Amino acid sequence: MIDLLASEAEQQIIDSVAGFLAEKFPVTRLRPGSDGERRMEAGLSAEHWRDIASLGWFGLGIPEEQGGAGDTVIAEMLVAREIGRCAVSPSIAATIAAGHLAALAGSELLAGLMAGEHRVAGAIRLHAASDEFHLIDARGADYILVVDGMQARLYDAAAFADVRRVISLDDAVILERAHLAAGARPTVQDAGSNIGRRVSLYNSAQLLGVAEAALKLAVEYAGVREQFGQAIGSFQSIKHRCADMAVAAEAAFAQVFFAGVSQASGQPDAAYQIAAAKVTSAGAALANARSGIQIHGGTGFTAECDAHVFLKRAHLLGQLGGERHWIRETLLTQALDDRVSLS
């Protein structure tokens, strides 16, 4: 039997990351001020980036012989989960993944990435035949991480031309569109699936954090909002919706961390479990974010309410990773194998 509960060391990681993010990046930072403007700029400041690097997040899973802490992918997923809870920039997870890419290639970039001297942003290719990408929080980034299928490539930010800002559904991030220059060569790359799997696990963990945060916010509101002289949480329809949210979050937690354990221990079905984790966590995040808005009623649709933040972030994270085709192929292949074994 696999124990998915956090160990003492893992709980220390959770407490440390959650405490830092609660102080520096509460979700309430994304509410507009009295003048209608956001109180904190999208993206991460240089000061915040240095603080995060000093906490050791970027070297958490890097082998000790390469200067890291030598922890497993599970520890990194715990960080990603808390990032999702607070809707913090996905560039943190992109930089963690880039560190593993540099470590795998024996690149001299590794030390700078772990020290926070280099910042990495993620990119989403618009469509398969396009050289145009969406860059996520790439302001100030030195490198751009691109994952196509499960192949990871790290490009110098200067390889992307015609960079222009565009409107983002998730306005807590800076979204830009750019072209990858013809003939641009990656600084480092992984033709296998190791980094791509890590990126998928990080995204799934962030989506899990979104699902759990949306649940917590909805339950808290249902306990204090009164209608007809009693808390709305006492109404059967609200109880059932909250229960469904709790089940979705718990199912996502089990699948996401089971996938992480499978990857960390080199299980033969790790690819299938990772693909299932992305599907499960994305579904839970979207469902819980939508239900959270409904439970908040009319106020859930306003900028002053935090509920909408999680719906926007769920949509964004569902697009990251570049593994859509890989997920479909992996799940369908497993289903076909199961059918053949039963026949």
Q: What is the pLDDT of residue 338?
A: 62
User: Residue 262: which CATH number?
Assistant: 1.20.140.10
Inter-residue contact 137 to 90 (CB < 8 Å):
yes
Maximum Cα–Cα distance for the chain, whole Å? 67
Separation between Cα atoms, residue 74 and residue 111, nearest integer Å: 22
Q: What is the pLDDT of residue 341?
A: 58
- Would you call 243 exposed, middle or buried from its count of C-beta atoms within 10 A (0-12, 13-18, 19+)? exposed
Q: What is the pLDDT of residue 115?
A: 96
Whether 122 is covered by a domain: the verdict is no
Whether 172 is covered by a domain: the verdict is no
Whether 220 is covered by a domain: the verdict is yes
Whether 66 is covered by a domain: the verdict is no
How many domains is the chain built from? Answer: 1
Inter-residue contact 95 to 113 (CB < 8 Å):
yes
Separation between Cα atoms, residue 76 and residue 223, nearest integer Å: 33
Collapse the DSSP code of 332 into the 3-class scheme (helix H, G, I; strand E, B; otherwise coil) and give the result. helix
Nearest to 170 by CA among 308, 291, 305: 308
Report how far apart, in Å, the C-alpha atoms of 186 and of each of 127, 271, 323 are: 19, 25, 19
Alpha helices per DSSP H over the chain: 8-24, 46-54, 73-85, 91-105, 109-114, 194-224, 236-264, 270-296, 307-319, 324-342
Alpha helices per DSSP H over 27-172: 46-54, 73-85, 91-105, 109-114
Digitized pLDDT (tens) for each residue of the chain, 343 residues in all: 567 778 888 999 999 999 999 999 999 988 886 555 555 556 688 899 999 999 999 999 999 999 999 999 999 999 999 999 999 999 999 999 999 999 999 999 999 999 999 999 999 998 877 899 999 999 999 999 999 878 899 999 999 999 999 999 898 999 999 999 988 999 999 877 789 999 999 999 999 999 999 999 999 999 988 788 898 888 899 999 999 999 999 999 999 999 999 999 999 999 999 999 999 999 999 999 999 999 999 888 888 899 999 999 999 999 888 778 888 889 888 766 665 555 5
The b/e string for 254-268 (b: 16+ C-beta within 10 A; e otherwise) is ebbbbbbbbbbeeee
Q: What is the pLDDT of residue 302?
A: 85
* pTM metric for this prediction: 0.94
Amino acid, single-letter form, for residue 136? I
The b/e string for 107-127 (b: 16+ C-beta within 10 A; e otherwise) is bebbebbbebebbbbbbbbee
Inter-residue contact 161 to 210 (CB < 8 Å):
no
For residue 144, list its beta bridge partners.
Answer: 121, 155
Inter-residue contact 123 to 176 (CB < 8 Å):
no
Whether 272 is covered by a domain: the verdict is yes
Domain span at residue 233 reads 194-342
